């Protein structure tokens, strides 16, 4: 089981210090926040990585704009931001870049019945944009990774099956899906079944418990990890959560806790 952790959760003031902590605890990946600074520090990051076995799992978001904004300037900013991060991911050897269709409610105007419903418009727009991102992903050799979010964070793609519909419609090797246990715990009828059906297209997993604390502090059932493994999933399980108490001892406890499912 390849464990990863978002960089901001790891104790340490430098990347070196964080990589050392992760390696000593048995993590094999670090998930990097896609802040602009990361692009300016690619060389330093690559140099730091040379001293450790821990690899960058994915780059998480960090771009500006909004793929479903009514303003083309903001849509283009998101497309360019994600594309730029796909190039960074490729340079760092990461699996890909996590992006979300949009946060919150619809921003496009509802012009039905003259035009399709807002949801239909959004889906068509998102499919076209995902096509562009998938091409960049294919070109550079990193996945554009669509993340479904729970209904309190977005109105559009809440379940794996809905993300899968877009991924299949685009039909490109450059576009894939990820699964976040926090969102799935709210949205999926059966997490095991959802993972099973989308397994072929899943290239990253976020781990958090039902209350978004580190796994072990809530009531989410993590046994579906076994289902995903049985389907051949061999990529990262990455922590995206809050950590109560001392991060070092909590991360150590987490590794023991999650290993039961791997």
Task: Catalog residues that contact ligand LER under the rule CB under 6 A.
Answer: 60-61, 98, 100, 147, 149, 153, 180, 206, 240
Taking the least distance from each CB to Mn ion, the nearer of 83 and 185 is 185
Q: Least CB distance from residue 61 to ligand LER, whole Å?
A: 4
| Distance from the Cα of residue 115 to its chain's centroid | 32
140 binds, among Mn ion, ligand LER, none (CB under 5 to 8 A by kind): none
Mapped onto helix, strand or coil, the DSSP state of residue 123 is helix
Q: Least CB distance from residue 15 to ligand LER, whole Å?
A: 20
Beta pairing partners, 99: 146
Q: Least CB distance from residue 50 to ligand LER, whole Å?
A: 28
Q: Least CB distance from residue 133 to ligand LER, whole Å?
A: 15
Taking the least distance from each CB to ligand LER, the nearer of 98 and 133 is 98
Query: How many residues would you count in the chain?
Result: 262
Report how far apart, in Å, the C-alpha atoms of 147 and of each of 131, 162, 177, 183 are: 16, 10, 6, 10
188 binds, among Mn ion, ligand LER, none (CB under 5 to 8 A by kind): none
Three-class secondary structure assignment of 181-210: HHHHHHHCCCHHHHHHHHHHHEEEEEECCC
Closest residue to ligand LER in the complex (CB):
61
Taking the least distance from each CB to ligand LER, the nearer of 185 and 227 is 185
Q: Which helix (H) or strand (E) holds 49?
A: helix 42-49
Say how far apart CA 137 and CA 38 lie, in whole Å: 18
Given 18, 204, 206, 235, the residue binding Mn ion (CB under 5 A): 206
Local structure of residue 9 (DSSP, 8 states): G
Q: Least CB distance from residue 55 to Mn ion, whole Å?
A: 19
Q: Least CB distance from residue 183 to Mn ion, whole Å?
A: 7
Taking the least distance from each CB to ligand LER, the nearer of 48 and 60 is 60
217 Cβ contact partners less than 8 Å away, ≥ 6 residues apart? 209, 211, 244
The answer to whether residues 81 and 129 touch, using CB atoms and an 8 Å cutoff, is no
204 contacts Mn ion (rule: CB under 5 A):
no
Give the residue from 31, 27, 24 showing the smallest Cα distance to 7.
31
Both tokens of 75, joined, read 């849509």
Taking the least distance from each CB to Mn ion, the nearer of 142 and 205 is 205
180 contacts Mn ion (rule: CB under 5 A):
yes
209 contacts Mn ion (rule: CB under 5 A):
no
| Binding-site ranges for Mn ion (CB under 5 A) | 180, 206, 240
């Amino acid at each position: 089981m390849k464990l990863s952790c978002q960089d901001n959760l790891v104790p340490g003031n430098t990347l070196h210090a964080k990589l050392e902590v992760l390696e000593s605890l048995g993590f094999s990946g670090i998930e990097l926040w896609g802040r602009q600074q990361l692009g300016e520090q690619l060389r330093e990051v690559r140099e730091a990585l040379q001293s450790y076995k821990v690899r960058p799992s994915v780059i998480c978001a960090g771009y500006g704009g909004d793929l479903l904004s009514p303003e083309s300037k903001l849509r283009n900013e998101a497309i360019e931001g994600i594309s730029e991060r796909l190039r960074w991911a490729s340079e760092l050897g990461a699996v890909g870049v996590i992006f979300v269709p949009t946060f919150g409610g619809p921003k496009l105007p509802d012009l039905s019945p003259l035009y399709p419903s807002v949801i239909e418009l959004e889906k068509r727009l998102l499919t076209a944009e995902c096509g562009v991102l998938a091409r960049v992903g294919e070109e550079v050799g990193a996945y554009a990774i669509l993340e479904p979010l729970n209904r309190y964070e977005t109105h559009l793609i809440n379940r794996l099956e809905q993300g899968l519909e877009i991924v299949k419609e685009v039909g490109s090797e450059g576009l894939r899906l990820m699964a976040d246990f926090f969102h799935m715990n709210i949205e999926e009828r059966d997490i095991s079944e959802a993972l099973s059906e989308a397994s072929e297209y899943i290239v990253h997993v976020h781990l958090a418990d039902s209350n978004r604390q580190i796994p072990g502090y809530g009531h989410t059932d993590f046994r579906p990890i076994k289902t995903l493994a049985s389907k051949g999933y061999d990529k990262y399980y990455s922590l995206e959560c809050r950590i109560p108490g001392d991060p070092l001892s909590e991360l150590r406890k987490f590794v023991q806790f999650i290993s039961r499912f791997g």
